[in-house]
Structure 1
Amino acid sequence: METLLQQLNYQPTGLTDDEIAHPEDALGNIFYTLPLHVARANIRLFYQAWVLHNAPTADAQDTTEMLAFVNGLINLVELSYVVVHRHEQVENAMVFVGKYSA
């Protein structure tokens, strides 16, 4: 955990201690305010803006690297969505079991 905190602090993070301790909850908040399809669309819009802004100066290598980054970012958002919903399913199952185990 100490190494993780050092890596986060290398470039200052806006994460709170609670968000670091419970990232599933913080990720869940993102998806409650921003549906998954909107998040994907926004990432693609960022890429389109980058292409339009850098079209005169970007070479093929820059464009390839940025496209790979955008695809990775979309995958990260989708995987985060999966983690959040699995976490919610586990919490709901624990509540259900706790309710009827007494």
Structure 2
Amino acid sequence: MENVMQKLDYQPSSLSEYELEHPLQVITDFFDNYPIHEIRDKIWQLYKGWVNNSADFAEGEENAGMLFLYTQLIDFLNASYVYAEKKKVEA
């Protein structure tokens, strides 16, 4: 676990010791609290807000980077959801 924390350049966070040892529980709780379609919409709203507020100063490369982050975040979200749901069935 220490090596993982070093790779993360770990700073104290709100995760409890239990959550650090059982990250799947954090993921499961997240999806239990927020339906996936609502999460996707919220992430889209965050992205749109960034685009609208950064139009005057963001460069094309930065805009492309944010769009790439958005698409990767949605892919990560979907994969995490599938993983958590599969683990529920296996349990």
Report the TM-score, using the length of structure 1 for normalisation.
Answer: 0.81
Question: Identity of paired residues, percent?
Answer: 31
Q: CA deviation at 1:90?
A: 0.6
Task: Tell me which structure has the larger Cα radius of gyration.
Answer: 1
Partner of 2:71: 71
RMSD between aligned alpha carbons?
1.3
Bigger share in helix: 1
Q: CA deviation at 1:70?
A: 0.8
Q: Deviating runs (4+, > 4 A) in structure 1?
A: none
Q: CA deviation at 1:14?
A: 2.3
Partner of 2:49: 49
**In the aligned structure 2, how far is the partner of 1:28 from the partner of 1:73?**
17
Unaligned segments of structure 2, at least 5 residues:
none
SS of alignment partner, residue 10 of structure 1: coil
Q: May I ask how many residue pairs the two structures share in their alignment? A: 91
Q: CA deviation at 1:9?
A: 4.7
**In the aligned structure 1, how far is the partner of 2:55 from the partner of 2:74?**
22
Partner of 2:27: 27
**In the aligned structure 1, how far is the partner of 2:13 from the partner of 2:6?**
11
